A and B are shown apart, each in its own frame.
Chain A
Amino acid sequence: MTTTTGDRRPQAYTNPYLAGIGLGLVLLSSFVLVGRGLGASGAFNSVIAWAVNAVAPAHARSNEFIAGYLGDGSASPLKSWLVFEVIGVFAGAMLSGLLAGRTKVMTEKGPRVSVRMRLAMAFAGGILMAFGAALARGCTSGQALTGGALLNLGSWVFMMMVFAGAYAVAYFVRWQWR
Chain B
Amino acid sequence: MMAPFFKYGLFGDQTSLVVAFFIGIGFGFFLERAGLASARKLMAQFYLTDLAVFKVMFTSIITAMLGLTYLSWLGWLDLSLVYLVPTYLMPQVVGGLVLGAGFVTGGYCPGTSVAATATGRVDGLVSILGITFGMFVFAEAFPLVKGFYLSGAGEAMTIPKAFGLPYGLVVFAVVLMALGGFYGAGILEKKIAARSGE
Contacts and interface: CB of A to CB of B under 8 A. Distances in A.
Contacts of B159: 151-153, 156
A166 B84 CA distance: 25
Given A34-B5, A35-B7, A136 B96 contact: yes
A125 interface: yes
A118 B126 CA distance: 10
Interface residues of A, number: 123
B33 A14 contact: yes
B57 A93 contact: no
Contacts of B84: 147, 150, 152
Contacts of A86: 24, 111, 114
Contacts of A64: 142-143, 146
A104 B124 CA distance: 12
Nearest to A149: B64
B63 A161 contact: no
Contacts of A32: 3-5, 67, 71, 77
Nearest to A90: B118
Contacts of B133: 123, 126-127, 130
- Interface range on chain B: under 10, 10 to 19, 20 to 34, or 35 or more? 35 or more
Given A23-B60, A85-B27, A125-B107, A132 B6 contact: no
Contacts of B176: none
B86 interface: yes
Given A20-B57, A97-B118, A170-B47, A143 B104 contact: no
Contacts of A174: 47
B106 A92 contact: no
Given A13-B34, A166-B46, A173-B104, A44 B131 contact: yes
Nearest to B148: A135
Contacts of B92: 135-137, 143, 154-155, 157-158, 161
Interface in A65-107: 65-66, 79, 81-82, 84-97, 100, 102-107
B30 A40 contact: no
B39 to A, nearest CB: 4
B145 interface: yes
B87 to A, nearest CB: 3
Contact of A88 (B22, B95, B96, B122): B22
Interface string A165-178: 11111100110110
B139 A65 contact: yes
A1 B82 CA distance: 40
A175 to B, nearest CB: 12
A133 B99 contact: yes
11 contacts: A36-B4, A87-B24, A88-B24, A92-B115, A97-B118, A121-B107, A122-B124, A127-B137, A138-B85, A153-B87, A169-B104
Interface of A: 1, 13-14, 16-17, 19-41, 44-45, 47-49, 51-52, 63-66, 79, 81-82, 84-97, 100, 102-110, 115, 118-119, 121-170, 173-174, 176-177
Given A23-B34, A66-B142, A88-B26, 13 more contacts: A14-B34, A19-B59, A48-B136, A81-B17, A93-B114, A135-B98, A139-B99, A140-B109, A140-B112, A149-B60, A150-B68, A151-B158, A153-B87
